[in-house]
A and B are shown apart, each in its own frame.
Chain A
Amino acid sequence: MPAADLLSSQGLRLDGRRPNELRRIRCKLGVFTQPDGSAYLEQGNTKVLAAVYGPHQASKSKMSTEAVVVNCQYSMATFSTGERKNRPRGDRKSQEMSMHLRQALTAAIKTEMYPRSQIDIYIEVLQADGGTYCASVNAASLALIDSGIPLRAYVTACSASLGRQSATHEPLVDVSHIEEAADGVCLTVASLPSTGSIALLEMSNRLHMDHFNIVLTRAMQGCRDIEVILDGAVRQHLAEGWTKQDVITI
């Protein structure tokens, strides 16, 4: 169901983007000292921190002899949304997010390398403007790389919606909060773009089958674009980061 008014007659979205454009992504690896890997990522006005601890010995109850246990926690700062959130974590929405994060990230981690161990991935959303799940996955992907845990491939996530410009339907990539709130569809995909596989797919609201493919394609393209950006950030971090890191530890 394409919501009205998401696209202007000149083909621009409410914030001035074209339908195929991501929001501005800025990211940084290794922002903290305490965790084994960390990253900070901004996707437009959505700002997310990710920290990875581990692998370390898993607690008895969770331990698996086959593979590493991935533990995720998603949390939103009380001041991250327009109206104050009363519970930063533990509410139903956050629990669901944590679970979806675990599913997407487990798909990327070479879990068989660390049996009997556990990896903790913590996400803190500082500011939310739509697409917090996508930003969380992307930040977590960077934090995992920073921690040196072997991955199969980059895992990235991106959302897409559907707008209407006169008679033609146009999928919109990387949905912002106002676009989410406009009562349109929101399709979220987490994928491993280099392998072409989808790790998680979630959709809210109603979408006609006729349009599903174009929306999915657009979201997948978004994932690929994000991978390029993340890859660039990792390379830059490695180029300048090693020396800095060494100085700090000595």
Chain B
Amino acid sequence: MSEVYKLIHPVKHFNDYISIKTRLDGRNFDEHRNIKLNVNSIKTADASAVVKCGNTTVVCGIKLELAVPKAEEPDLGFLITNVELPALCSSKYRPGPPSDYAQVINNIVSEIIKNSKCIDLKDLCIVPDKLAWVVYCDMVCIDHDGSLVDACIIALIASFKTLLLPSVNYDTETEEIKVETNERINLKIHGLPVATSFAVYEHFQSQIILLTDPTNYEEEMCGGNGSNLIISYNKGLLCGIQKLGGGSLSTENNEEAIRLAEQHTIAVEKVINACLEGKGTNK
């Protein structure tokens, strides 16, 4: 019965739920979905992570390559992030070139990583002007159920945490490259950026409601293509706020969102650390 009602009167159906201060999946407005994280499951990648936030599933794989640094920035390596939304992940996407939305997400993720300064590109340089690492970070969404950016960032950071760079000896005279597979060092990561998505819903044109970690359906109901508000933190420092459509925000709303995001950062950090310590996955 409820399914039919949802189909015929989607807005009314949604409002009914909001009125009784619950969400369709039974969460409170400020409640996150469960996060499941697993690292190094893709053996062909140099580092990898699979993360599941509710149903949203993202696989991140990192591949390393060697290249010559750019002439204008001879002491910097390369960090290339890419988010893919294949047709597999949702009925919204058709096969073909990346959709606009995928490109937007891609941009947001790379901005967050860049602004958080969690990776110093100088660490990726081996010999200035001669040799540097190229770190390709490919994130593939295999199930899209909202709050994609959150999941991408978690998957990416978890992958970074497990990435080991082999030591490379470069002979400047012979230009010969010798890679030591046995000596490997962890990539230095400064802080731990976390993104938190919100859907901003205007309940009967009067009340602004913030839905934390929205599902795909919630995102659609809030009129947006994806989440409306993304707040990113890196160890207590704000490193990005994106507001994309949806209802307009008041200052109180904004402060509340920042507070929630800060709390979420701590929770996510716990999950990542627990996973890396091999204790399995939990919230």
Contact = CB atoms under 8 A, between A and B. Distances in A.
Contacts of B270: none
Contacts of B42: 47, 77, 79-80, 126-127
Contact of B145 (A34, A79, A84): A34
Most buried by B among A45, A75, A77, A81: A77
Interface in B17-48: 42-46, 48
A127 B44 contact: yes
Contacts of A35: 88, 91
B143 A79 contact: no
Given A32-B142, A126-B42, A127-B44, A77 B61 contact: yes
B59 A126 contact: yes
Contacts of B144: 34
A84 B61 CA distance: 10
A124 B87 CA distance: 10
Contacts of B57: 32
Interface residues of A, number: 30
Interface string A14-29: 0000000000000000
A128 interface: yes
Given A32-B142, A84-B136, A79 B63 contact: yes
Interface in B178-234: 216
B188 to A, nearest CB: 22
A79 B44 contact: yes
A77 B88 contact: no
A73 B84 CA distance: 15
Interface of B: 42-46, 48, 55, 57, 59, 61-63, 65, 82, 84, 86-91, 95, 136, 138, 140, 142-145, 216
